[in-house]
Homo-oligomer: A and B are copies of this chain.
Amino acid sequence: MQRATRDDVARLAGTSPAVVSYVLNNGPRPVAPATRARVEQAIAELGYRPNLVARALRSTRSNVLGLVVPDSSEGYFTQLTHAVERAAFARGSLVLLGNSAFSREQELRYAESLANMRVDGLLLVRAEIAGAAATHSTLDVPVVYLHHRAPSGSAAPSVVLDNKAGGRLTTEHLLGHGYREIGCLTGTARSGPVADRARGWTEAMRAAKRSTGNVVRTGLDRHAARADIRRWLQSPERPRAIMATADGLALDTLTVAAELGLSVPKDLAVIGFGGTDAAAHSWPALSTAGHSFDDFADAAVSTLDELRENTQPEDRVLDVHLTARASCGCE
């Protein structure tokens, strides 16, 4: 049996298709109560459900948002994805998900597919990799950058954390514990959120007249990252405390420390960045700086809304809070 269409409903209700629309959308024209009742009756009887594809074609709203992240299975992106999906659904939209796999090319491929799908907007979490930052200006779709600022040359708004201030915050917290040798564990990208956090560390260390020489940079491969951390922790350069620019790095540090028989925070204090759930569930529990993911996602979706309404939205910079747990020496 075929799915009922709006015409079927109209026929059964003894009215015109237009009226069915008016009832469904509560407008733009009024409908007499009696007619409305008949239409609703017919809808129920037929189990009618509007075809959203047709609606999207006719109107110019699909109630679908596109979200592209580098890797939706990485802790931080996982939670961001989850929060965005929830925030979108709460406002009546569904989310089309894309994984760019940290590749600009793949990022663009997804952005194009999503744009062709006529999503209402694109939420883009750029990969932190080197290489030309393709602006997606030709896409003809509202774009909001998340987590990472918009590439230079793009007029698109962004919603990002106050990463540098956060980097200062976590570093100052370690300083406050009285640690003097504080190392920085960070990524290899020269710019982007992670680099900004490292910059915060540098600033805080400078302000405290401490050396800014003890930095370890590591890439995306988790296995290699652990090897780098292991080498560091076994070397004479092993710091008393580590400010990691992402929770994943901090968690790996915890694991390597356990493996080497180093006690955290007694032998080594560790603080992360991102505010992920995983930080709350490690042993010892990881102190971390971050911003509520739900808030972040709300800001993202509402910035997209503003953009659609042509009020050129401001870039949003979310302040970063510290959640102090055992790993830094608190508790």
Contact = CB atoms under 8 A, between A and B. Distances in A.
A86 B73 CA distance: 11
B57 A116 contact: no
A89 interface: yes
Nearest to A260: B283
B98 A89 contact: yes
Contact of A53 (B50, B62, B222): B62
Number of copies: 2
A53 B85 contact: no
Interface residues of A, number: 50
B82 A115 contact: no
Nearest to A96: B94
Q: Chain A: interface secondary structure? A: helix
B51 A53 contact: no
Nearest to A3: B140
A281 B57 contact: no
Given A118-B52, A277-B73, A281-B222, A98 B113 contact: no
A258 interface: yes
A214 B115 CA distance: 55
Interface in A93-152: 94-99, 110, 112-118, 138, 140
A115 B51 CA distance: 9
Contact of A85 (B86, B99, B116, B251): B99
A56 interface: yes
A43 interface: no
A45 interface: no
Contacts of A112: 49
A118 B110 CA distance: 20
Interface string A48-87: 0111111011000010100000011100001101100110
B116 A50 contact: yes
B82 A72 contact: yes
A2 to B, nearest CB: 9
A251 B118 contact: no
Given A72-B78, A99-B86, A140-B3, A116 B62 contact: no
A71 B82 contact: yes
Given A51-B118, A94-B113, A96-B97, 8 more contacts: A52-B116, A57-B57, A71-B82, A89-B110, A94-B117, A251-B281, A258-B258, A258-B283
